[in-house]
Amino acid sequence: MPCTDMTCNNPTCNENGDRSSDDDRRPVTQEQAAAERAEREKKKQELEVRYKNFISAIMVGDANIENVKRLHHHSFVVSMEYSRENPPIYCAASKGYAEIVKYLLDQGHSPVTPNANTQSLEIPLSIAAVKGHLEVVSLLLNKYTDFQKIANISNYNGNTALHFAAYENHFEIVKFLVQNGIPVNKTNEHKESALHIAARKGHGAIVRYLCSQGANINLKNKQGQTPLLVAADNLSGDVKELLRGVDYLSPCNMVSLI
């Protein structure tokens, strides 16, 4: 029964006014502690299975969207606990499943949640750029009003979605990012811009486009190399000739690039 004596100083009364029983103060036995641990482990395993089923549904693709919605209803809280490795939206973005990505965004999943299962802590936007999924890149960026802030988020070594797209020669994604205001001269921890990366890989069309958008061909990386020197080191002959035709006194001379 609750203790109603306002002047009661009995230490067995808890703060809710109830008198604690001897059972409440009795030490937990080893058997009880073991049983509690077993119950917690059982619940954890059930949640993990539920989450894995959710991810499996996502990986089937957009054709499975209704099943994804059904499982998401039961798995959203679970996903928040277990999604440090292979977050749901990261998995969908990596496969280019635009309909699922849109649904997850509408349900509150973040496009910048890093994947702890990758060495570089990639975010969904980065993996979509790497894989060349333009529609997904657009969805991830346009969900937020601060477009540039999202697009300029980098992984642990400073690479942004623009760096990744330039590396993989995804011209349309490079163009989309730049046209939407992403700075062409943003550098990573090696002080390399997307132009350095495209030049190293010999991606002439991207080099030409970045130069046309004001990429700095005089920018030096940590080794003191300009994009031309990077191209020379990697025997990117076409890119070397392209960059040699640029006026080094200006960010870009479009006449020489046509």
- Burial of 29 by CB count in 10 Å (0-12 exposed, 13-18 middle, 19+ buried)? exposed
- 0.85 exceeded by pTM: no
SS3 assignment, position 176 = helix
SS3 assignment, position 33 = helix
Q: Are 203 and 166 in contact (CB under 8 A)?
A: yes
The residue count of the chain comes to: 258
Q: What is the pLDDT of residues 53-98, one digit of tens each?
A: 888 889 889 888 998 888 887 655 454 545 566 788 889 999 999 9
With cut-offs at 50, 70 and 90, classify the pLDDT of residue 13: low
Residue 158, Ramachandran bin (φ over 0: left; ψ between -120 and 50: alpha; else beta): left
* Domain 41-149, classified CATH 1.25.40.20, yes or no: yes
Q: What is the pLDDT of residues 136-156, one digit of tens each?
A: 999 988 876 566 666 667 777
| Lowest-confidence region among 37-51, 67-81, 99-113, 223-237 | 67-81
CB-CB neighbours of 158 under 10 Å: 14
Q: Are 58 and 97 in contact (CB under 8 A)?
A: yes
Residue 154 is encoded by which pair of tokens?
A: 């980098």
Question: Quick one: what percent of the chain has pLDDT higher than 70?
Answer: 69
- Burial of 136 by CB count in 10 Å (0-12 exposed, 13-18 middle, 19+ buried)? buried
Quote the CA–CA distance of 93 and 126 in Å, as a whole number: 9
pLDDT of residue 253: 41
Q: What is the pLDDT of residues 173-205, one digit of tens each?
A: 999 999 988 889 999 999 999 999 999 998 989
Domain boundaries, the chain: 41-149
Q: Residue 255 pLDDT > 50, yes or no? A: no
Q: Residue 162 pLDDT > 90, yes or no? A: yes
